């Protein structure tokens, strides 16, 4: 979205007569990229849709406090990032409570990867399936950083705005994620 379009949308969001229509434009423009940011972290399509819906609900309820200091896209991606991490945390607690599985469960990454592979939205080959398995084994925050950099080709500065993490820490996190993925592939040989 161009800066002038974004500024115009922000002005419309603050006009009660145009607010709803402007927000519809935001939903139309950002649904797909936000969905894929979430989907790369969340195993099930339906869960990703729920997180996306929560993202837009949170954005709608806080739209009056959005001042435009950050780009609208950055603000939305940050909400989606936080909602995704919250969802994963709650999911982990539920699984741990329901089945007494600990966070160190070695089957969790395989379960996530198998879920992604069996999903009708997944159309990758064996190498891509292995990549998803390796990514699924990463800690949530490292996985988020890897996905933003690798799949979305996001700049570290934008990632920093989204995650609230320093550029240096993001670079280190990405480097560690790449190393872990490389090690995973070496073990597969």
Q: What is the pLDDT of residues 35-81, one digit of tens each?
A: 999 998 987 899 999 999 999 999 999 998 887 788 899 999 999 99
CA 136, 140, 146, 152 dihedral sign is positive
Question: What are the CA-CA distances from residue 167 to residues 83, 120, 156, 160, 188 (Å)?
Answer: 21, 36, 6, 6, 32
Higher-pLDDT residue of 89, 5: 89
Q: What is the DSSP-derived secondary structure letter of residue 65?
A: G
Question: What are the CA-CA distances from residue 57 to residues 72, 83, 101, 186 (Å)?
Answer: 15, 11, 31, 43
Q: How far apart are the first and last CA of the chain?
A: 43
Lowest mean pLDDT among 84-98, 108-122, 132-146: 108-122
> Does the predicted TM-score (pTM) go above 0.85?
no
CB distance 135 to 146 below 8 Å: yes
Lowest mean pLDDT among 54-58, 62-66, 158-162, 179-183: 62-66
Domain boundaries, the chain: 1-100, 102-189
Report the pLDDT value the prediction gives residue 87, as an integer from 0 to 100.
95
Decide whether 1-100 matches 102-189 in CATH topology: no
**Domain 102-189, CATH number (from 1.10.10.10, 1.10.3720.10, 3.40.50.300, 1.10.760.10):** 1.10.10.10
Q: Quote the mean pLDDT of the chain.
A: 85
Report the pLDDT value the prediction gives residue 124, as an integer from 0 to 100.
59
The architecture in CATH of the region 1-100 reads Orthogonal Bundle (1.10)
pLDDT tier at 7 (50, 70, 90 boundaries)?
A: confident
Question: What are the CA-CA distances from residue 69 to residues 7, 65, 66, 76, 132 (Å)?
Answer: 11, 11, 8, 13, 35
Q: Which of the given ranges, 7-16, 64-73, 105-114, 163-172, has the highest pLDDT on average?
A: 163-172
Q: What is the dihedral of CA 110, 55, 170, 185, to 10 degrees?
A: 20
Higher-pLDDT residue of 120, 50: 50
Q: Give Rg (Cα) of the chain.
A: 18
pLDDT surpassing 70 at residue 98 = no
Closest CA to 183 of 147, 141, 148, 135: 135
């Amino acid at each position: 979205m161009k800066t002038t379009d974004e500024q115009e949308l922000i002005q419309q969001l603050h006009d009660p007569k145009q607010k709803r229509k402007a927000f519809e434009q935001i939903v139309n423009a950002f649904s797909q990229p936000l969905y894929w940011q979430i989907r790369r972290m969340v195993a099930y399509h339906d869960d990703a849709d729920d997180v996306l819906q929560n993202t837009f609900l949170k954005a709608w309820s806080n739209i009056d406090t959005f001042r435009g200091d950050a780009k609208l896209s950055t603000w939305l991606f940050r909400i989606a990032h936080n909602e995704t991490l919250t969802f994963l945390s709650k999911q982990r607690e539920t699984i741990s409570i329901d089945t007494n599985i600990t966070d160190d469960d070695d089957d969790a990454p395989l379960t996530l990867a198998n879920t992604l592979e069996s999903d009708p939205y997944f159309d990758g080959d064996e190498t891509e399936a292995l990549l998803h398995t390796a990514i699924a084994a990463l800690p949530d925050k490292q996985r988020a950083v890897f996905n933003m950099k690798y799949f979305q080709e996001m700049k570290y500065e934008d990632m920093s705005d989204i995650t609230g993490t320093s550029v240096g820490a993001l670079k280190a996190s990405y480097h560690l994620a790449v190393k872990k993925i490389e090690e995973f592939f070496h073990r597969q040989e």
